[in-house]
Amino acid sequence: MMTTGTVFLIDDEESMRMSVSQWLSLSDFHVDCFADAQSALKQIDAGFDGVVVSDIRMPGMDGLELLRTVLQLDDEIPVVLITAHGDIPMAVSAIREGAYDFLEKPFSPEILLETVKRAGEKRSLILENRKLRQQLTRVSGIEGKLLGNSDAIQVLHREIRDLGPTDASVFLVGETGCGKEVVAQCLHEASTRRDGPFVAINCGAIPENLFESEIFGHESGAFTGAHSRRIGKFESANHGTLFLDEVTAMPPNLQVKVLRALQERVIERLGGNQLIPFDTRIISATNSNPLKACMAGSFREDLYYRLNVAEIDIPPLRKRASDILLLFEYFSMRAAERYKRDIPSLPSEAIAILMAYRWPGNVRELKNAAERYVLCSLPARDRISYILQHTGIASAQGSSLTEQMVYFERCLIEQSLRRNQGNIVKVMEELDLPRRTLNQKMQNHGLVRKEYAEGRQ
């Protein structure tokens, strides 16, 4: 039989233990009874997956002391205290010390059940998020930086591992917010230059008259206002990587100079007369089609081919829908940590909305949505409409219903696999699917059990 959760019930009075445990057992809780705090404590550790319900007044260690000891083990274990009738000041101080809630004697079975259920749900959520956090912190390197389970992300990881260690100039193409800068940093970290600098310059954001000094540097007195020598980006990225972001927006007269610098492998500071060799790997990026910019004449074709020894296309988020939930959970977890908030649960309606949305701002937009979701203090259900309004999801043109349903199904199975670390029996139970159907669906969605098994790198 499936249980709703575990409850440790501690009371020195046998009759109380009997009645309370009976009520809870009738609602499918698994109840362990203890006559004193010490013997319960022996079985509680930091990962305790349940709720502690304890009387306050007991001989030996009392409920408040038990509360303190439990919270020292893990301050997120919910402890519900049972207080004598009229002992409100005691109850209030217990809450202040971190008790989850209190029940004033005599209490009805409904109140008990409702409190314990709420506490149990909160606990499961906390443990689940801890597990996720652990999984996410266990992965390091590229996998820990460029997150995602989709095939597209796996391909990116491979391309980064293949191209990273070469000195080849890589050209990244992808919509806004889809992770071009993350990929550029991963390439840098996968290279032998990883101990050198990673220097980024946004070619679309620098006024044309400053561009040359920004990128090549200048000597003092090179122009009015140039009081001292300045080192340009090419030089400061020496022995490292220079990331030319929005490269197609580079002013045309500068394109010639950059091309020449790349061909000769030397630069000249503005107002200087010395040729300075540099050893810098170039990674460029654009969110618009570079060939179109070439055809329109705004981007030099010879520069494009010099920068594009290898091209990496980063697909938009809507084309790798199986990453949406993982990233959303990851960013809410990070935001919850940063703002010291609880990690809100994600009801299935919310998941469906997130999956169906087209995410024109890609991962950046998703990250913002996850942060707002954590910071929003509305109850879970209203939070969803809040996200809806604030990301314009409501007006979004989704993909077809069938496509969305396929995504959604894949995502739910994937989530369950991850939660249960690839334990098929648990997934069958959770999704209430016969083995054959589950296998079939996993096969259709290209999901492989092994990839979710514990200890996977």
Asked whether 360 and 319 are in contact (CB, 8 A), the reply is no
Which whole-number Å values give the CA distances from 412 to 50, 321, 370, 391, in the listed order? 25, 12, 19, 23
Q: Is 146 in the site for ligand ATP (CB under 6 A)?
A: yes
Q: Which stretch binds ligand ATP (CB under 6 A): 28-36, 232-240, 302-310, 361-369?
A: 361-369
Asked whether 184 and 243 are in contact (CB, 8 A), the reply is yes
List the one residue out of 348, 344, 349, 320 whose CA is nearest residue 333.
344
The interface with ligand ATP within residues 214-253 (CB under 6 A) comprises none
* Residues 265-304: x where in contact with ligand ATP by CB under 6 A, - otherwise, as a string: ----------------------x-----------------
Q: How far is the CB of 454 from ligand ATP (least distance, A)?
A: 22
The interface with ligand ATP within residues 21-80 (CB under 6 A) comprises none
Q: Which stretch binds ligand ATP (CB under 6 A): 71-79, 109-117, 145-153, 222-230?
A: 145-153
Burial status of residue 124 (CB atoms within 10 A of its CB: 0-12, 13-18, 19 or more):
middle
Q: Which stretch binds ligand ATP (CB under 6 A): 3-11, 35-43, 360-368, 442-450?
A: 360-368
Please say which residue, 329 or 365, places its beta carbon nearer to Mg ion: 365
Q: How far is the CB of 183 from ligand ATP (least distance, A)?
A: 7
Q: How far is the CB of 201 from ligand ATP (least distance, A)?
A: 12
DSSP classification of residue 205: S
Q: How far is the CB of 418 from ligand ATP (least distance, A)?
A: 16
Residue 228 contacts by C-beta under 8 Å, 6 or more apart in sequence? 220
For residue 285 the two structure tokens come to: 């990026």
Please say which residue, 48 or 359, places its beta carbon nearer to ligand ATP: 359
Query: If DSSP codes are grouped into helix, strand and coil, which group holds residue 139?
Result: coil
**Among the listed residues 20, 64, 70, 147, the single contact to ligand ATP using CB under 6 A:** 147
Please say which residue, 269 or 367, places its beta carbon nearer to ligand ATP: 367
Q: Is 249 in the site for Mg ion (CB under 5 A)?
A: no
Q: Which stretch binds ligand ATP (CB under 6 A): 141-149, 304-312, 338-346, 373-381?
A: 141-149
Cα end-to-end span (Å), the chain: 34
Partners of residue 5 on adjacent β-strands: 29
d(CA 240, CA 280): 6
Q: How far is the CB of 181 from ligand ATP (least distance, A)?
A: 3
**Among the listed residues 179, 232, 240, 315, the single contact to ligand ATP using CB under 6 A:** 179
Query: If DSSP codes are grouped into helix, strand and coil, which group holds residue 227?
Result: coil
24 binds, among Mg ion, ligand ATP, none (CB under 5 to 8 A by kind): none
* Residues 358-397: x where in contact with Mg ion by CB under 5 A, - otherwise, as a string: ----------------------------------------
For residue 104 the two structure tokens come to: 């004033």
Backbone angles phi, psi at 46, to 5 degrees: -60, -30
Count Cα neighbours of 138 within 13 Å in the Cβ-side half-sphere: 10
The interface with ligand ATP within residues 321-340 (CB under 6 A) comprises none
**Among the listed residues 176, 238, 288, 423, the single contact to ligand ATP using CB under 6 A:** 176
Is-cis flag, bond preceding 106, omega within 30?
Answer: yes
d(CA 68, CA 65): 5
**Among the listed residues 257, 306, 364, 441, the single contact to ligand ATP using CB under 6 A:** 364
Q: How far is the CB of 315 from Mg ion (least distance, A)?
A: 16
Q: Is 177 in the site for ligand ATP (CB under 6 A)?
A: yes
DSSP classification of residue 421: T
d(CA 23, CA 207): 73
Q: Is 32 in the site for Mg ion (CB under 5 A)?
A: no
Count of residues in contact with ligand ATP, rule CB under 6 A? 15
Q: What angle do CA 63, 24, 94 make, to 5 degrees?
A: 25
b/e sequence 84-94, b meaning 16+ C-beta within 10 Å:
eeebeebbeeb
Q: Is 135 in the site for ligand ATP (CB under 6 A)?
A: no
164 binds, among ligand ATP, Mg ion, none (CB under 5 to 8 A by kind): none
b/e sequence 44-58, b meaning 16+ C-beta within 10 Å:
beeebebbbbbbbeb
Q: How far is the CB of 398 from ligand ATP (least distance, A)?
A: 22
Residue 352 contacts by C-beta under 8 Å, 6 or more apart in sequence? 404, 408
Of all helices (H) and strands (E), which one includes residue 231? Answer: strand 230-231
Please say which residue, 235 or 329, places its beta carbon nearer to ligand ATP: 329
Q: Which stretch binds Mg ion (CB under 5 A): 179-187, 307-315, 316-324, 366-374?
A: 179-187
Please say which residue, 250 or 438, places its beta carbon nearer to ligand ATP: 250
Q: Is 181 in the site for Mg ion (CB under 5 A)?
A: yes
Q: Is 367 in the site for ligand ATP (CB under 6 A)?
A: yes
d(CA 183, CA 55): 56
d(CA 125, CA 287): 38
Applying CB under 6 A, the residues found at the interface with ligand ATP are 146-148, 174, 176-182, 287, 363-364, 367
